[in-house]
Structure 1
Amino acid sequence: MNEYTAQDFKKGQPRWCPGCGDHFFLASLHKAMAELGIAPYETAVISGIGCSSRLPYYVNTYAMQTIHGRAAAIATGAKVVNPALTVWQISGDGDALAIGGNHFIHAMRRNIDLNMILLNNRIYGLTKGQYSPTSPRGFVSKSSPYGTVEDPFRPAELCFGARGRFFARSVANDGPHTIEILKRAYEHKGASVCEIMQNCVIFNNGAYDPVYTKEGRGKNAIYVEDGKPLVFGENHEYGLMQEGFGLKVVKIGENGITLDDILVHDSHCQDNTLQLKLAMMDNEHGFPMALGVIRDVEAPTYDEAVNAQIEEVKAKKPYHNFAELLETNDIWEVKEG
């Protein structure tokens, strides 16, 4: 492994509003890249359109800002023709889940080895404040002055429904935790989806207030870790137990409940039932927000499979280039009269 610092991956002067979650995430990405030790020339960062999609300008790697919603399509092509390339795809909630929704779900279904980052602020920030596919019902915005009358996409539900094998979640300003899930996303071979929750300080400030401070996360979030009980609270006094087909919050020490009764997290379980329930928890229904790697299951990747198929077919063919192809057919020699 090569030794790098975050400075080796920095480039340019970020042009985002002061306090924007994109600043926090960019700093975490620089540090994660340095700790992974993958050379800048072996890395590509590809985005679509939106505030967050300006990020490729600020990384000292191969980089490309594409057109609206097409980041996954371009990233797929880059990975398939350059299997050794580490590809980070950067998209906002509007870019990935609205115009780019088709590409997003099929990249997961195909299990292409991409690190797909979903920077979710529940708003269209670049175009000045329209509601997005993740804005909650009733959300008042410039394009919904009387409140939206539709339910939002929940990224975890969409990922699991598309047969996603890796899903993680973090809060943008929780730097150390974000770095860890980015490293786990890289280590996973296949489509890795990391939802990064962040505020848009101009058009949707406070979108994640319950978990946007360290104190708030202590009360309203649960950090899931493999092999460890699902406990939370300022003193880890609460836990999660199974109740029928669902989950319930219990207080350890009450009604004879001990730590042994608490569910233990397993992101590698093939059955995603519990993982999906964890991913879908929210504060509005009395549950903590799950943060960390929620699902991490290995499966064949599209890019490896398609390249293996190409090699297999080539080995069976009597020709390996265009000149040899021509010689497999009838050949005439034309001579002067």
Structure 2
Amino acid sequence: MSSDVRFIDFKSDKQPTWCPGCGDFGTMNGMMKALANTGNDPDNTFVVAGIGCSGKIGTYMHSYALHGVHGRALPVGTGVKMANPDLEVMVAGGDGDGYSIGSGHFIHAVRRNVDMSYIVMDNRIYGLTKGQASPTSREDFETATTPEGPKQPPVNPLALALSAGGTFIAQSFASDAQRHAELVQKAIEHDGFGFVNVFSPCVTFNDTDTYDYFRDNLTDLAETDHDPNDFDEAKDRIMDADAEYQGILYQDEDSVPYHESHGVTENMTEIPDGAPEDATDLVREFY
């Protein structure tokens, strides 16, 4: 790892194709800043992403990366971390990718407590497929395919993580650049599975959960007396349906990550003869 790595070192030469104003720009910038602030560099970082608008993020970041299939980014990230515990593994996804088809993988990744970070861009809609209700959409959220709303309560990803034994559960807002980067950094530094649900507004298909909505309704836990080490207090905050929070909801500071508790400490990978040893030498024709 390098002490002089810069934010820009994690930016690839690929031009993002997200809609102008998409919250994913801010989410990605915070991820890159957090990686740089923790002393990581592209040569020791592996970013795994799934399908959806969020799935493009591995293309736009300069690091080792894999663009996987829908809902399956977490098991890939788990395998990478188990094979090479020295790598900084970051998994990126969206609310549809992570809390619908990928929900089973999410719960088991949380309970295993693998030492990696999971950043979910939650825009409360399926953006890539042009605006259907997602698992986190409100019960009365009207779309072309749900004209009267989904008529089912939204998934509470923070509650899922807490009930599965999560050791680091946080929530951030893509537009609050400094705070978002700080929370992602805390997730990276945590010994175990660092989960951050990011409110990342979709400016094209969701005119309800907007930047203005979150600015007006988010409560930053840093401005309250919330104790993130108190499980019962975290549970009460997470289950409060009338509040939207930013900050660390819960953190177990005695957390022991999976690779330590199970003695997986050695790098099990080998670089084949002739393969590039530096991420800067990679030519990723796939993209």
Q: Which has the higher contact order (CA 8 A, sep 6+)?
A: 2
Match of 2:255 in 1: 299
| Deviation digits for residues 285-332 of structure 1 (CA, Å, limit 9, x no counterpart) | 3x4x22111111132222223344999xxxxxxxxxxxxxxxxxxxxx
Moved over 6 A (4+): none
Match of 1:2 in 2: 3
Find out whether 1:139 has 2:100 as its counterpart: no
Q: How far apart, in 2, do the equivalents of 1:304 and 1:211 lie? A: 42
Distance 1:309 1:201, change over 3 A: closer
Kept after mapping to 2: 8 A contact 1:281/1:290: no
Kept after mapping to 1: 8 A contact 2:9/2:41: no
Find out whether 1:223 has 2:178 as its counterpart: no
Kept after mapping to 2: 8 A contact 1:80/1:307: no
Amino acid at match of 2:261: A
Q: How far apart, in 2, do the equivalents of 1:300 and 1:170 lie? A: 24
Match of 2:163 in 1: 161
Q: Match for 1:28 among 7, 27, 30?
A: 30
Q: How far apart, in 2, do the equivalents of 1:14 and 1:307 lie? A: 40
Amino acid at match of 1:296: Q
| Deviation digits for residues 144-178 of structure 1 (CA, Å, limit 9, x no counterpart) | 12221211101111111111111111111110000
| Deviation digits for residues 12-57 of structure 1 (CA, Å, limit 9, x no counterpart) | 1111000000111112222222211112111011011000110000
Match of 1:197 in 2: 199
Match of 1:334 in 2: none
Amino acid at match of 2:251: D
Find out whether 1:99 has 2:91 as its counterpart: no
Kept after mapping to 1: 8 A contact 2:85/2:265: no
Q: How far apart, in 2, do the equivalents of 1:31 and 1:302 lie? A: 26
Match of 1:266 in 2: 227
Distance 1:304 1:109, change over 3 A: same
Q: How far apart, in 1, do the equivalents of 2:57 and 2:207 lie? A: 20
Find out whether 1:63 has 2:69 as its counterpart: no
In the TM superposition, residue 133 of structure 1 has moved relative to its aligned partner by: 0.7
Q: List runs of 5+ in structure 1 lacking aligned partners.
A: 231-263, 312-337
Q: How far apart, in 2, do the equivalents of 1:309 and 1:42 lie? A: 16
Kept after mapping to 2: 8 A contact 1:131/1:142: no
In the TM superposition, residue 281 of structure 1 has moved relative to its aligned partner by: 3.3
TM-score normalised by length of structure 2: 0.87
SS across alignment from 2:86:
coil
Match of 2:275 in 1: none
Distance 1:65 1:130, change over 3 A: same
| Deviation digits for residues 239-263 of structure 1 (CA, Å, limit 9, x no counterpart) | xxxxxxxxxxxxxxxxxxxxxxxxx
Match of 1:245 in 2: none
Higher Rg: 1
Q: Counterparts in 2 of 1:165-180, with a 5 A limit?
A: 165-180=167-182
Q: How far apart, in 1, do the equivalents of 2:19 and 2:98 lie? A: 21
Match of 1:152 in 2: 154
Q: How far apart, in 2, do the equivalents of 1:308 and 1:44 lie? A: 18
Kept after mapping to 2: 8 A contact 1:156/1:276: no
TM-score normalised by length of structure 1: 0.74
Distance 1:82 1:159, change over 3 A: same
In the TM superposition, residue 95 of structure 1 has moved relative to its aligned partner by: 0.3
In the TM superposition, residue 129 of structure 1 has moved relative to its aligned partner by: 1.1
Kept after mapping to 2: 8 A contact 1:83/1:304: no
Q: List runs of 5+ in structure 2 lacking aligned partners.
A: 268-287
Match of 2:16 in 1: 14
Q: Match for 1:128 among 117, 120, 130?
A: 130
